[in-house]
Amino acid sequence: MKVSELAKAARVKPDTVRFYTREGLLNPTRNPDNNYQQYDAEDLRRLRFARKARQLGFSLPEIRSILDQADEHHSPCPMVREVFEDRLAQVEKEIEQLQQLRERMQSALTAWQAMPDGTPDGHTICRLIEHWDNDTPSRPEEDRHHG
């Protein structure tokens, strides 16, 4: 298969095929007649795998490591579980931090509705921000110090 054919079969753009080829995840051969890269069913399988792994949040180095283990006939599943558990914990922490940010933003916007606009006077830059007070710590680390 040519780049365009592989891309179509995997439902990705040709640039995605080229990217994964440059990164060494796909191993095309060269057609001796025209020097075009030729991909096979294994490349299609690897490309589909890489795409699914990216959708699950795996990084390119992690995908490369998974494929390397599989290429060496070692099960990458234990590593996949471990990486995934760590990644899920990170995502949950980020969601919590974003929810806290959302609450601060909503609180600020509510408070700002009643505040007049101000002109910078050498003492203030934007009174909306400077006079907004937040009882909620901005980082989870601060929660631990206050609790």
Asked if residue 96 and residue 54 are part of one domain, the reply reads no
Asked if residue 102 and residue 59 are part of one domain, the reply reads no
Q: Is residue 82 a part of any domain in this protein?
A: no
Q: Is residue 103 a part of any domain in this protein?
A: yes
Asked if residue 63 and residue 97 are part of one domain, the reply reads no
CB 146 within 8 A of CB 138: no
Is residue 141 predicted with pLDDT exceeding 60? no
Alpha carbon 67 to chain centroid, angstroms: 19
Q: Alpha-carbon distance 55 to 58, whole Å?
A: 7
| 37 phi/psi in degrees, rounded to 5 | -75, 135
pLDDT for the residue 135: 54
Residue 96, domain extent:
90-146
Domain count, the chain: 2
Q: Is 17 exposed, middle or buried (0-12, 13-18, 19+ CB in 10 A)?
A: buried
Alpha carbon 66 to chain centroid, angstroms: 17
Among 74, 104, 121, the domain boundary falls at 74
pLDDT for the residue 85: 95
The per-residue pLDDT for range 68-83, each reduced to its tens digit, is 999 999 999 999 999 9
Q: Is residue 83 a part of any domain in this protein?
A: no
The mean pLDDT of 72-100, rounded to a whole number, is 95
Give the per-residue SS3 of 35-50. Answer: CCEECCHHHHHHHHHH
Q: What is the CATH number of the domain that holds 26?
A: 1.10.1660.10
Asked if residue 11 and residue 59 are part of one domain, the reply reads yes
Half-sphere exposure of 141 (CA within 13 A, CB side): 0
